[in-house]
Amino acid sequence: MVGSFDVLALDSNINGTMKPLPEDFNSMAFIRDHVPHIVGENGIGNGGAQNGTENGERKIVLGRNFHTTCLEVTEPNIDDEVTGEREAYMASVLARYRKSLSERTNYHLGYPYNLDFDYGALAQLQHFSINNLGDPFIESNYGVHSRQFEVGVLDWFARLWELEKDEYWGYITNCGTEGNLHGILVGREVFPEGILYASQESHYSVFKAARMYRMECVKIDTLCSGEIDCDNFKAKLLCHKDKPAIVNVNIGTTVKGAVDDLDLVIKKLEEAGFSHDRFYIHCDGALFGLMLPFVKRAPKISFKKPIGSVSVSGHKFVGCPTPCGVQITRLEHVKALSRNVEYLASRDATIMGSRNGHAPIFLWYTLNMKGYRGFQKEVHKCLRNAHYLKGRLVDAGIGAMLNELSSTVVFERPHDEEFVHKWQLACQGNIAHVVVMPNVTMQKLDHFLHELVQNRALWFRDGKARPYCIASDVGHQHCLCALHT
């Protein structure tokens, strides 16, 4: 297979013997394999030619850009148990994989995942197939579940977002995407004729929901910060006054970490003549839903306001070995969605059927270990470190932006995709970002900055390439390209 990496390959010849594994395992080899093919000839913006594009856009070709490594599966030999060869091979592969995971963890900055957690105490539970299928509040006939933990976690979040125990419904999802799919579905069930409004910088799952549910979807302009443009929102509402509004509000956009002004969104709905029984607001708090409550001067996310649901990812700020999330909505709304299922002896109101029963225990464990104050401390550390990174980038002459309520530092896209892959940066057009999570220390940021500055000197050495212009992404005041310095 193209790009497969022989250190991890099992010789698939007829007798299935295993190649000895070389000692000099180089986990960076994976990175090189993941460098996408460059299509086209010109760079974009005013930068150089290293990031190939076609018609000004980077092209991703399905199935061709990423050559993933492949660990072939081979059938065990009859005498494997006697020789112990297979067991030794498996142990060796896993040990090397573990080493590469540690290495990759050390060089991760671009995605909003807190990679610092210790769930060693829960290792004993790995032997159980814990599944919370069905409704968290109704015991199904399947007894190997963790509903008691799930409901404990949900109660904590309902309290955080100010909804009484007997007025909320929720569940632990597989991820923030599932929370969005659920929140928007509840909105659609409450208002089957409703139009979905979402800013153009909303996460792709919001538009996916619109496609899946065949909903009419109106995209709203954004400000340079990434926040929803509320004047444009009102103008678009006024064009569709005859239909109820289902609104996605971003509590931290994916790329720029922008927080939509919930109060202003509600005000614009009211000004446009939408009474509270004519709109449904879903708050997508995938990353920042759990950070915002601890940020001073931040707008408050609360069910005391006319909102319908809030979702957050569990593996992001909290940190978790498996993706997960939390979805909270009003009990009265979920009734529109749920159906009885005799086979489960439960009610079906979730997107998925089987549900990860380990995830609620991870969340419950961290909530207990860190508590409200622990999260508060970590949020402040993230914001402080994000400010440090942004300041150092600007000091080094690199255009950068940091929204006031965010720990997502946006800056000019590096000119070398290998550098991008080494640090696992998330890029879009001319910008890249680092999301400062609790595991991102100042030392790590110093290491990254040092390498970035050194590499930039090489990229721009002969004057053929120049830093990208990021003015149209984040505003000219944050851009330090040749034109805007």
Taking CB under 6 A as the rule, does residue 163 contact ligand PLP?
Answer: no
* 176 versus 319: smaller Cβ distance to ligand PLP: 176
User: Is residue 358 near ligand PLP by the rule CB under 6 A?
Assistant: no
Residue with tokens 């995605």: 111
* Binding segment toward ligand PLP, per CB under 6 A, in 77-85, 172-180, 349-357, 382-390: 172-180
177 binds ligand PLP (CB under 6 A): yes
Cβ atoms within 10 Å, residue 80: 15
In the shown chain, the binding pattern of residues 288 to 317 toward ligand PLP, with x for contact by CB under 6 A and - for none, equals -------------------------x----
In the chain, the amino acid numbered 387 is H
* Residue 114 binds ligand PLP (CB under 6 A): no
From the number of C-beta atoms within 10 Å of its C-beta (0-12, 13-18, 19+), residue 92 rates as middle
Closest approach of Cβ 254 to ligand PLP, in Å? 3
Q: How big is the CA angle at 323 (ends 321 and 327), to the nearest 5 degrees?
A: 130
Query: Taking a C-beta distance cutoff of 8 angstroms, is the pair 8, 71 a contact?
Result: yes
Residue 175 makes contact with ligand PLP by CB under 6 A? yes
**Does the active-site annotation cover 202?**
no
Q: Which residues, other chains included, contact 381 with Cβ-Cβ below 8 Å and sequence gap of 6+?
A: 438
> What phi and psi, each to the nearest 5 degrees, are found at residue 203?
-60, 150
Q: Can you say whether the dihedral through the CA atoms of 212, 215, 216, 217 is positive or negative?
A: negative
Beta carbons within 8 Å of 130's beta carbon, 6+ residues apart: 144, 145, 146, 356, 357, 358, 361
Residue with tokens 């089987």, as numbered in its chain: 354
- Rg of the chain on CA atoms, in Å: 24
How big is the site for ligand PLP, counted in residues (CB under 6 A)?
17
Residue at token pair 């569940």? 171
**Look-up of token digits 């091979």:** 89
Q: What mask of x and - would describe binding to ligand PLP in positions 241 to 270, judged by CB under 6 A?
A: ---------x-xxx----------------
Task: Retrieve residue 42's tokens.
Answer: 């010109």
CB of 89 to ligand PLP, least distance (A): 34
If binding is defined by CB under 6 A, does position 287 make contact with ligand PLP? yes
List 199, 346, 406, 407, catalytic entry? 406
Q: What's the helix, strand, coil split of the chain in %, to 5?
A: 40, 15, 45
Q: How far is the CB of 251 from ligand PLP (least distance, A)?
A: 8
111/142 with CB nearer ligand PLP: 111
Residue 108 lies near ligand PLP (rule: CB under 6 A): no
435 binding ligand PLP? (CB under 6 A): no
User: Is position 225 an interface residue for ligand PLP (rule: CB under 6 A)?
Assistant: no
Select 45 or 325, whichever has its Cβ closest to ligand PLP: 325
227 part of the interface to ligand PLP, by CB under 6 A: no
Question: Residues 146, 205, 309, 385: which binds ligand PLP (CB under 6 A)?
Answer: 205
- Per CB under 6 A, the list member of 176, 187, 399, 438 interacting with ligand PLP is 176
Task: Give residue 220's identity as a one-letter amino acid code.
Answer: I
For residue 27, the minimal CB distance to ligand PLP (Å) is 24
Provide, rounded to whole angstroms, the least separation between the CB of residue 380 and ligand PLP: 21
Which listed residue (265, 286, 410, 425) binds ligand PLP by CB under 6 A? 286
> Looking at beta carbons only, is 204 or 372 nearer to ligand PLP?
204
In angstroms, the CA 325 to CA 291 distance is 14
Of 272 and 307, nearer to ligand PLP (C-beta) is 307
By beta carbon distance, the residue nearest ligand PLP is 176
Give the angle subtended at the CA of 450 by the CAs of 449 and 452, to the nearest 5°.
60
| DSSP-derived pairing of the beta strands 408-412 and 400-402 | antiparallel
Q: Which residues in the 314-333 window bind ligand PLP by CB under 6 A?
A: 323, 325
Amino acid at 38: I
Rounded distance between C-alpha atoms, residue 248 and residue 158, angstroms = 19
Catalog residues that contact ligand PLP under the rule CB under 6 A.
Answer: 112, 175-177, 180, 203, 205, 250, 252-254, 284, 286-287, 313, 323, 325
Active-site amino acid positions:
406
